[in-house]
Amino acid sequence: MTKFPQEIQDFGNLFVKLQEDRHNADYDPTSRFQLSDVVQIIDVAEETVKLYRRTANKDRRAFAVWATMKARH
């Protein structure tokens, strides 16, 4: 993933982290989230998506293909 622009790398890394957090929230009964932490996560996600959308279409398409193909391996 290091060949993609930093904004796309940040998006991909955040996506994985948010998936893990979601999994914990759904399936780990001991998992707890503070409202302030959730608000901060949402703010970071919104900013990361904004920066991702500013990248070139060709890079976003390449990332989508890479992410899809990587999951098949």
With contact defined as beta carbons under 8 Å apart, do 31 and 24 qualify?
yes
| DSSP H helices in 1-73 | 6-27, 35-53, 57-72
Instruction: Give the tens place of pLDDT for each residue, 9-28.
Output: 999 999 999 999 999 999 99
Instruction: Give the tens place of pLDDT for each residue, 53-66.
Output: 999 999 999 999 99
| CA-CA-CA-CA dihedral for 51, 12, 24, 41, to nearest 10 | -10
